[in-house]
Structure 1
């Protein structure tokens, strides 16, 4: 077996230089945990529109080590079942499990503010690498990690055992947490969720911290850090941008088929007040998901080659279709919900407030609702779903399911 201690030290040094790694305890963990153990049986590397399989047994040792210690996210599963050892050539597919870029893994773990003796619940074991880092820092009995995919969980558990960590590896729906080992001091999710499940709050001690990526759009998710209060609520803020694969049970089915048929019958058509191209920006995309939960943004073209942008919400059978109109855009909307009306109102209020960054967003979670706001005004509204905007405060509230 190749000794990768030099590569581990080099990776730690890179992370320090990038500002992702600051604590000596976590640097020691990065230098101790062999990342290559958590990549078996192999990875998929992007090759145009396809994924090229690379396996440990089919590669030169030096090449495999180079790949294992790259600073990039490494895809380990496609389409919910396919691993690199099952194919011999480049294939198409949708990534469904990966080893996240080390800089994001380490910076998130540092943001969790763990201390000696803390019990941590990790949602989304994936390869098991981040669980191994926490086991090194806290001890294997203080880490519980849960993975919904049985095959992924089995590979992670085997890798953790090989690395010397007999931690609590659970197969199950992480959105339900793991009450058997509760309460926890810290909860960290390495998958994106649309809302922080209240089950996580119930399973976290007062004063405990929950860290999770909120959002279903890859270019518009926010890393939320909330503290659980004595009264069973949790509050905090978005501390930065993040991009993770969606929790399996919340993953949207990609919109496909004949888009013209889906948008054939519109209830209204008008000029937009703001450009839909704003949705290419991170903060507007984040706001759009709050205003229209479940909506998906699709880019397409007409048979004549004209550019089209569409919003679809399959659950509410609604759409908004945009076409360029000179210097502006026309929007056609259909279905029970006027998707663009709600999003446009949010974007307009955000612009009038001075276009604050995503890190200005705060949130309050109760057993009945998530409430987001920007500005210093106290939240008092009990309205189930609406935007309120002025130059000092924006706020958004919607109901959530109670698990």
Structure 2
């Protein structure tokens, strides 16, 4: 494979360093590990509805040298699919953020969940040494690719093909665990494989609008807790992909006066709060020239939609738009909340989201039917 020209690779690294995403140690590591050799010849750019294949080497290298993700697999590798991204080499600035949150030090043993292209494993090898890096990839084709390119680049981390949700218990404990695919909940098995004070960094998939990065510290008793550290958009772990939604019964449509502009819902703070108060309710949005449109739906087929400046519409036995407005009123009453005001505790009993401190657990809101 063709390595990135030094100038273009160096410019990308210096951009990350200038933005404060790399310290001096990681700066040297990134300079030593170019991105291009880890990207397969067949790659795609993430499109609005489907991935766009990179047709020329100039296109490929242009994307590789930018601060953008590079899709390396679509449709789980199946031919003639719709072109949905299922694996990527993540946006470099996001990789740098995740590695900074991981708080890696020399001598640490690091477990990576989601080897994908092998690039992050190579960065970790350069930072802590090959023998201290463990990486698990569920897809056999991607695992084969990562093994080949890592060896060609001179790296020999410990690699395995399997479901990363279970970690690598035979090689535990680890000082650090990095998850490079989105989780709906943090598997307790991963937390149990951390040493006392060990750190886990992972993106969590939120049903409301956006994903978020969590940084957890292990308590030595099988649990871990920590705060959200900003937004992130990652492809879901295969075993954590959301279930298909039921079809909405549009014959039950009714109008609901919208007292809230849908744009007010599109913040990470509200996504974290509402995603906990209204579990299993999904929201997607579309920007419009005059505002935004949102679509809400639960697992039972109840739904609601609203457009800036217009009434809302609700479907099914649940008043989803009215519930969202009530939850937004609660959110405003709590003050100006940011992602770091929220945190997560993971124990053998499950996962809980809290506000400000672990004792202040956010509970689900009651479900409301339509007003009489």
Q: CA deviation at 1:365?
A: 2.1
**Correspondent of 2:57 among 53, 59, 64:** 59
The answer to whether residue 268 in structure 2 is matched with residue 287 in structure 1 is no
The answer to whether residue 296 in structure 2 is matched with residue 311 in structure 1 is yes
Cα 1:219/1:320, change in 2 over 3 Å: closer
Q: CA deviation at 1:43?
A: 1.3
- In structure 2, how many angstroms separate the alpha carbons of the residues matched to 1:380 and 1:293? 17
Mapping of residues 34-73 of structure 1, within 5 Å? 34-46=34-46, 50-54=50-54, 59=57, 64-73=60-69
The aligned counterpart of 1:321 is: 304
Cα 1:121/1:341, change in 2 over 3 Å: farther
Aligned 8 A contact 2:208 2:284 in 1? no
**Correspondent of 1:334 among 306, 310, 316:** 316
Q: CA deviation at 1:270?
A: 4.4
The aligned counterpart of 2:352 is: 371
Aligned 8 A contact 2:184 2:240 in 1? yes
- In structure 2, how many angstroms separate the alpha carbons of the residues matched to 1:322 and 1:68? 38
- In structure 1, how many angstroms separate the alpha carbons of the residues matched to 2:138 and 2:227? 27
Mapping of residues 98-109 of structure 1, within 5 Å? 98-109=88-99
TM-score by length of 1: 0.79
Cα 1:220/1:287, change in 2 over 3 Å: farther
- In structure 2, how many angstroms separate the alpha carbons of the residues matched to 1:73 and 1:279? 26
Q: CA deviation at 1:64?
A: 4.4
Aligned 8 A contact 1:30 1:133 in 2? yes
5+ residue gaps, structure 2, are 287-291, 367-372
Mapping of residues 363-402 of structure 1, within 5 Å? 363-375=344-356, 379=359, 385-386=363-364
Q: CA deviation at 1:348?
A: 2.0
SS in 2 for 1:42: coil
Q: CA deviation at 1:375?
A: 3.3
Aligned 8 A contact 1:218 1:243 in 2? no
TM-score by length of 2: 0.85
Mapping of residues 150-169 of structure 1, within 5 Å? 150-169=140-159
Q: CA deviation at 1:95?
A: 0.9
Cα 1:340/1:171, change in 2 over 3 Å: farther
Q: How many matched pairs?
A: 360
Q: CA deviation at 1:149?
A: 1.4
Q: CA deviation at 1:146?
A: 1.0
5+ residue gaps, structure 1, are 301-306, 389-403
After superposition, the C-alpha distances for 1:97-131 in whole angstroms (9 at most, x for unaligned) are 11111111012112111111111111111111111
The aligned counterpart of 2:264 is: 278
Q: CA deviation at 1:39?
A: 0.6
Cα 1:46/1:269, change in 2 over 3 Å: closer
Aligned 8 A contact 1:21 1:110 in 2? yes
Mapping of residues 65-214 of structure 1, within 5 Å? 65-81=61-77, 93-214=83-204
Q: Considering only aligned residues, what root-mean-square deviation do their CA atoms show, in Å?
A: 3.1
- In structure 2, how many angstroms separate the alpha carbons of the residues matched to 1:225 and 1:2? 33
